[in-house]
Structure 1
């Protein structure tokens, strides 16, 4: 069975988030499942073909980005051509160029849509693209969401609830809980420098709410490290300067997975301040849970507060509320017993409920069910 994964960008241009999900799903599994990846360049650049962990990956040339999407006019044709050799195509949404290319899917090819989020905050753009999205969803054999609440809250998905299946994302909990001797030493050194370290992790984009976190920082006795890259970097640095907290913020940029684990080991609390429903699940908060950290997250109408639950693994506050965010972070920093209880429960929940092997097995089973149904 040949499965083609299609999305807007992949390694080395981007990592984490959807790219991390694709990496999990294309890792070695069943012997008779062969994966390929088709993406556009995550930034302006020529097309390239490479392989990651033995999985062929092709990135179509891009002229740049518009509204967070690559300008890759050749992508729909490349997708239509690649689909002809696939048994199942896994379309990772949102990506409008996927929808254009998917118009040419032959009848014998199964279609699985991975619904990571929908386009929010740009009503005119979303309205213009809605017919293409509806066509893809109508053609889809199955639609995978991370939690059923996402399908129930989406006007685009509600007509297709019978095809939607909730498969919670998973992480390698054992790996996120493990750190070698050298990493432990670096984490201890970082903790000595910043004994009340707050870590946040994600792309520097508006819906992540890092501006709200920076607005909360003057009320917090601690040091904040924001791990990630993105277009908001300069604006966030200016917000920190205007708030007078530049000396208590580190913009760590891109870090390897091991260095992320070092930061999580050194931290006292993980802040997850996302502000819109574009944050549907929160893989980074799940990684922090696996590392044993207490979480402070936001009450979004998505799976975010269902993964790390208020009073159990997290303290959950209203989105865009800097005062409430500061109060919750202070509560964890000031109460070691609370932090220990939340962190221990978070690690257990990540290990028991969000295992990456379970996630991959169920998704691959869906691919096979779709393949078998299309083959009759």
Structure 2
């Protein structure tokens, strides 16, 4: 079975999030299945590479508009690559994929729409492309979502609920859970230097809510490290300066996975202050939970608060409420027994519910179902 994953961007241009899910799925030991990836560059010339044994074609891009690559070669590349695939996985949202599918996806190629999130924050773009998305969902053989709220809260998905399969993401939890002796020494030093340490990780974009975290830090006795890069960095730095917390909020930029893991193990709490439904799941919550971190997240109408649940693995607060976020962070920093209870429960939940091998096995079943469905349709008369 030849499977093509199509999404707007992939490693090494970006880490985490949907690219991390794609990477997890493509690392298969099944000799009967081969995976490849089509994407665009964040900005720059075309590039072909083999990453962790998987062929990756990244077409040239002039940049992005409405979070969509300005990549004229993407649709022709999709059409060309789809002809030699048995299954295409459209990692949504990406309007370029929707257009390419409707333009010329061969009838005998099975289509899986992996619905990672709805289009949020670009109302004009959503109005323009919604008719395309609805037609693509009609063409799809299977639709995969990470949680039931994504179906319940989506007017576009609900009519196709019978095609939808709920599969929680799975990550390499052993990687995040374990440290070698050298890393443990570094972690202990960080703990001594920053005994009340909050860590956050993600792109510096509006829906991540880092402005809320910075406002909360005005009332938090501790230090925060925000890992990630993005267009809001100057604005967030200015906000930290205006609020007088610049000495306690560190913007670490993009870091290698090994350094991120060190910070996870050295911190006392993981902050996940996202403010809109563009945050559909929060894979990084699972990675932090695997490292034993208690979580503070937000009560979005997505899967986010179901990954780390209130008073079980997390403290969950209203999105955009800096006061509530500060209170939750202070509680975990102040109450050692609470922090320990949430952290232990979070690690146990990560290992039981978000295991990488179980994730791959569930998705392999979806591949087979989609291909059988497509072949059955092709065999029907008329």
Query: Shorter chain as normaliser: what TM range?
Result: over 0.9
Q: Which residue of 1 aligns with 2:252?
A: 252
Distance 2:126 2:349 in 1: 36
Residue 374 of structure 1, CA deviation: 2.3
Distance 2:281 2:350 in 1: 13
Residue 250 of structure 1, CA deviation: 1.0
Instruction: State whether structure 2 residue 375 is matched by structure 1 residue 375.
Output: yes
Distance 2:353 2:231 in 1: 34
Instruction: State whether structure 2 residue 193 is matched by structure 1 residue 212.
Output: no
Per-residue deviation, residues 217-243 of structure 1 (Å, max 9, x unmatched): 010000000011111111111111111
Secondary structure class of the residue paired with 2:100: helix
Distance 2:308 2:265 in 1: 18
Distance 1:372 1:34 in 2: 17
Q: Which residue of 1 aligns with 2:40?
A: 40
Distance 1:245 1:292 in 2: 27
Alignment of 1:182-261 (within 5 A): 182-261=182-261
Q: Which residue of 2 aligns with 1:86?
A: 85
Residue 329 of structure 1, CA deviation: 0.3
Distance 1:199 1:228 in 2: 11
Distance 2:26 2:141 in 1: 20
Distance 1:70 1:245 in 2: 35
Q: Which residue of 2 aligns with 1:52?
A: 51
Distance 1:193 1:141 in 2: 53
Distance 1:320 1:292 in 2: 26
Residue 29 of structure 1, CA deviation: 2.6
Per-residue deviation, residues 203-228 of structure 1 (Å, max 9, x unmatched): 11110101100010010000000011
Q: Which residue of 2 aligns with 1:330?
A: 330
Distance 1:373 1:164 in 2: 14
Alignment of 1:17-166 (within 5 A): 17-42=17-42, 44-103=43-102, 104-166=104-166
Residue 372 of structure 1, CA deviation: 2.5
Distance 1:182 1:207 in 2: 36
Q: Which residue of 2 aligns with 1:359?
A: 359
Per-residue deviation, residues 84-141 of structure 1 (Å, max 9, x unmatched): 0000000000111011111111111000011011111221111011111112111110
Distance 1:7 1:129 in 2: 16
What runs of 5+ residues in structure 1 fail to find an aligned partner? none
Distance 1:144 1:374 in 2: 16
TM-score (norm 1): 0.98
Distance 2:108 2:165 in 1: 22
Secondary structure class of the residue paired with 1:247: coil
Question: How many pairs does the alignment contain?
Answer: 375
Secondary structure class of the residue paired with 1:296: strand
Secondary structure class of the residue paired with 2:200: strand
Distance 2:373 2:278 in 1: 32
Residue 375 of structure 1, CA deviation: 2.9
Distance 2:360 2:234 in 1: 37
Distance 2:132 2:243 in 1: 43
Secondary structure class of the residue paired with 2:241: helix
Q: Which residue of 2 aligns with 1:286?
A: 286
Query: Runs ≥4 in structure 1, deviation > 6 angstroms?
Result: none
Alignment of 1:308-327 (within 5 A): 308-327=308-327
Distance 2:121 2:23 in 1: 28
Q: Which residue of 1 aligns with 2:342?
A: 342
Per-residue deviation, residues 143-199 of structure 1 (Å, max 9, x unmatched): 100001101100110110111110000122222110111111111111111110000
What runs of 5+ residues in structure 2 fail to find an aligned partner? 377-382
Secondary structure class of the residue paired with 2:218: helix
Distance 2:166 2:188 in 1: 39
- C-alpha RMSD of the superposition: 0.9
Distance 2:177 2:77 in 1: 40
